[in-house]
Chain A
């Protein structure tokens, strides 16, 4: 008996479901609505079923949105209770980071300004107006181009200067009658000029985002004893940790 009643209720629910979910034909729908008008319990159950449908749809739509927003949440909200304690730490670590960076920037600036009073980019104080090689005054020009972010032009000029330097050094070394001391002085001068050009080249390469080439050049300074060893080491480490 109970099984029959349950079966009857189940089948009635089937019919209600078809109506609520819009699966009835026009004729079936009219017949059902007529039945509802005559049967209070049928009407009640139909209203209840429609409410269940609306509640479920509303719930799932909201849950879908919440799941989407949950994916966007970056910080771990389960540990957000500690966030109040972390804020001062963030400030302290941020200020410390700025101080560390500022230290390196000042170091670079000092290295650049040691000779000629400028060097906001850590450019070398190497310019010697009396230098008897072609293109001596062009290095200030290259530096100016880099400072004005004309990196491609600076690189082109550096290349020209390198060619000129090579040519000059060959010419000078080939000059007859030079003493060993004079040859050694020339060699040091050319080596110094090459280092200056390579240092400028590293900055120009960084400017046009050819970071790997720049880092190779900077790394080569670290391996030699020279004017740029320390500052190259600092710059290399700074860029590596970025």
Chain B
């Protein structure tokens, strides 16, 4: 009946907040298992935390923040899926089986900070010591170097996030959407011929290879 009107705000407050239902351990386990509910909960939790706190961690423009978050979360997600942080006997562990004492949100912000640093370096806004945040860099860039493809995948994923939009577009349309070059040519009208598109694609792949090699060099020398 109309006698009792419950304010909508009170309903929202009493509604269970699904993003806080999972502990970090549960999130790590769930992401590894591709649990869809956990995937979404983790994303929402990280997104909320990121936007609430990024201003205290680094400085970036408002126009770039959405892209930065997405790229950060992609790396974060990839690393958890690959078991860079894993759970053993109910305890979170990181590189070399050492206990992982930070929270996942701290790890996320560490990745964001490094990505922002890379962006700043690329744009030559200022010069910083490349050894900054080496520990976090090591934890999320370390890989089993005996597994050649895993090693390359790690750096290629990172380089994909940094490559020019047009290159990423061509690579995505060709290798993910599996479109033939003729179809790509119809969509990307800036290319005048199939050969020009083919050459552009080849150069994009070369840039990607160079980028991932550079990252590996940086890792070796750090």
Contacts and interface: CB of A to CB of B under 8 A. Distances in A.
Interface of A: 6, 9-10, 13-14, 17, 20-21, 47-60, 62-63, 65-66, 69-70, 72-73, 77-78, 80-81, 83, 90-91, 93-94, 97-98, 101, 105, 108, 120-121, 206-207, 235, 238-239, 242
B4 A105 contact: yes
A101 B4 contact: yes
A130 B5 CA distance: 38
B52 interface: yes
B48 A206 contact: no
Given A10-B198, A98-B10, A101-B4, A47 B44 contact: no
Determine which residue in A66, A72, A78 has the highest number of CB atoms from chain B within 10 A of its CB, and name it. Answer: A66
Interface residues of B, number: 46
22 contacts: A10-B199, A20-B175, A21-B175, A51-B149, A52-B171, A52-B175, A55-B156, A58-B157, A59-B74, A60-B176, A62-B74, A62-B77, A63-B70, A63-B74, A65-B39, A80-B51, A93-B7, A105-B4, A120-B3, A121-B1, A207-B1, A235-B2
Given A58-B78, A63-B70, A91 B13 contact: yes
B153 A81 contact: no
Contact of B9 (A13, A70, A93): A93
A58 B171 CA distance: 13
B73 interface: yes
Contact of B44 (A6, A73, A242): A73
Given A6-B202, A51-B149, A60 B172 contact: yes
B2 A52 contact: no
A69 B205 contact: no
